[in-house]
Amino acid sequence: MGQMGLSSFSFSMVSYIILVLGLIIGPLLCNGGKTSTFVRKVEKTVDMPLDSDVFKAPPGYNAPQQVHITQGDQVGKAVIVSWVTVNEPGSSEVLYWSEISKHKKVAKGKVVTYTYFNYTSGDLGQTFDSNKTLTHYEMNPQKGQAVLFVGDLSYADNYPNHDNNRWDSWARFVERSVAYQPWIWTAGNHELDFAPEIGETKPFKPFSKRSETPWLIVLMHSPWYNSYNYHYMEGETMRVMYEPLFVKYKVDLVFAGHVHAYERSERVSNVAYNIINGECMPVKDQSAPVYITIGDGGNIEGLANNMSEPQPAYSAYREASFGHAILDIKNRTHAYYSWHRNDDGYAVEADSLWFFNRQWYPKDESH
């Protein structure tokens, strides 16, 4: 059994974070950059055995392990502290104080028990090379104060049944750094834990609860449904991957930019299309989002005004004007939407309608 304590509290002092990110702006040449001549000796990267020093659990009954801090808000004034205790929940209190005052404050966290397959517990990996990388980072005289980690953490999924002991060992391995400075994470493909052989058939699962956040709105840059002759079908590979999820989980609205004009779609989906079945026309679908292209802010590149003709059926309204829109969410069922072109007075609505929430009030919106 594993328990995870999670505590978050506010700092009275701003903590400064230096990002270990280099920006290299080289000369712009069309014949590419440089290929380093360094060639690493070919050798296998092997995981450190489970009884390695870096995986050792702390001594003592129920001692907190896998201690981990990370940034707790967007302005650098809060910290989230988490740890694992293996015998019982134990205390969920964190003592903290500022550098200049020794007056200790207490934050109380919550306890979560986690389970995976038949295990209840608790791009670095945990090989000897991972240990070397972490050591080199730690020993670098230019002491980093925070780590941006772009995914692929433990590689537990390389083991039969995605052996989750490797998650715990990994967290004990990185504790020596993550307990002392914020690591800010992105999940990588090795965090998906897609494993049909042990009954885990879904690589992505919904994160939000529609009862708590009733409106599901997606923002992206490149539009999927766009009838302008600019960036046409550029979002296609992304659409093929994600549109079935959008329809299944009833995304209400999708806003995109990229095309410098305005367009609103019908509720349509094109999930039946599989390249060879010929069903390549988007069909009306009341479970599908409305797609709104609103890249009409008015930038230096000018308006997109060349449209494909005739206007496709999926396109409900399109106009090559600059403007803005207001989405007025009234409650969990109703939202009023209006788009305002810059050439009119502020309050003039050039395109407007009611949206009904797809989860809580899936009323047919087609007119």
Catalytic residues: 231
User: For residue 245, which amino acid is it?
Assistant: L
| Residue with Cβ nearer ligand NAG (81 or 134) | 134
Q: Tell the smallest beta-carbon distance from residue 27 to ligand NAG (Å).
A: 33
* Cβ atoms of residues 26 and 137 within 8 Å: no
Q: Per rule CB under 6 A, is residue 127 in the interface with ligand NAG?
A: no
The single residue among 51, 53, 99, 212 that binds ligand NAG, judged by CB under 6 A, is 53
- Decide: is 331 part of the binding site for ligand NAG (CB under 6 A): yes
User: Interacting stretch for ligand NAG, rule CB under 6 A, among 45-53, 100-108, 178-186, 246-254?
Assistant: 45-53
Query: Alpha carbon 178 to chain centroid distance?
Result: 20
Q: Contact between 177 and ligand NAG (CB under 6 A)?
A: no
- By CB under 6 A, the count of residues binding ligand NAG is 16
Binding marks (x or -) toward ligand NAG, 282..321, rule CB under 6 A? ------------------------x---------------
Give the separation between CA 329 and CA 349, rounded to whole angstroms. 17
Does the protein bind ligand NAG through residue 330 (CB under 6 A)?
Answer: yes
Interaction of residue 133 with ligand NAG, rule CB under 6 A: no
131 binds ligand NAG (CB under 6 A): yes
Q: 92 or 131, CB closer to ligand NAG? A: 131
Per CB under 6 A, the segment of 21-29, 250-258, 262-270, 326-334 that binds ligand NAG is 326-334
**Selected range binding ligand NAG among 48-56, 94-102, 199-207, 276-284, rule: CB under 6 A:** 48-56
Site residues, ligand NAG (CB under 6 A): 48, 52-54, 118-119, 128, 131, 135, 161, 229, 306, 330-331, 333-334
